[in-house]
Amino acid sequence: MDKCFFVLLVWSGCFCLAYGQDTKLKSGNTKDTESRLNSNQQTVADPAGQPVNTQPNQLTAQEVASLFAKDIGKWKITGKSLRAGGAPEPFEDVIEIRWKVKGKSTAASFNPLINNVRVPFVGHKEYDTKKGVFLWRSKGEGFPETVSREQYDRATKTYRGTSTYPDGAKETSKFKVVSKDKRLFTSQVEIDGEVVFSREAIFSRIAETED
């Protein structure tokens, strides 16, 4: 089995996870699979490169500032990932989010496990008022910068994202704000209509008094 890595963007809530594992998805060619997964680090997450429809959930400046403020702090991430034909694999991480420009943008730092090595990442998040989407940029040591986009549904308190890769692979994600101290994340990757990878996680706020 060939070694490759998969970087999963969770731009919702200013979060990004990454992990490393031995992966051979049910796409036939291993080299094609590796190219598909690694392409996530170079692709802007617009569905098929099309403009995002922003009319239903355009946010006000006050709403954006409030959403950013609720992200500030340190979060523990616990979850599991599942590749087609494999067994669930647990993972953990911690991400710290702080203001970059108060009310307008945030910065984050985290150390995801990639190929059994903790890699330092930094990220920045802002809101594109013209398109009505959140822009999340992240950069890991030894990795190119990634840029992703996501819409927020105020009715369900859920961030929804879709990424389409050059070869047609499609990734969809949901990030639900359950409370001020908890978020739920799910994501899956499909190739030709078949789910080849999925992941779910719980984000729990770490109280300031905790070590």
Q: Could you state, in order of their start, the residue ranges of all structural domains in the chain?
A: 3-206
Return the CA Rg of the chain: 16
pTM over 0.85? The answer is no
Could you give the count of Cα atoms lying within 13 Å of 142 in the half-sphere of its Cβ? 8
Give the pLDDT confidence of 24-63 residue by residue, as tens digits: 444 444 344 433 444 343 334 444 444 444 455 689 999 9
Query: Which CATH number does the domain 3-206 belong to among 2.40.128.20, 3.40.50.620, 3.40.190.290, 2.40.30.60?
Result: 2.40.128.20
Q: Which residue has the higher pLDDT, 77 or 147?
A: 77
Neighbour count for residue 161 (Cβ, 10 Å):
23
For residues 144 and 150, give the distance between their C-alpha atoms in angstroms, rounded to a whole number: 20
Model pLDDT, residue 166: 60
How do beta strands 133-140 and 121-128 pair?
Answer: antiparallel
Structure tokens at 117: 């090595």
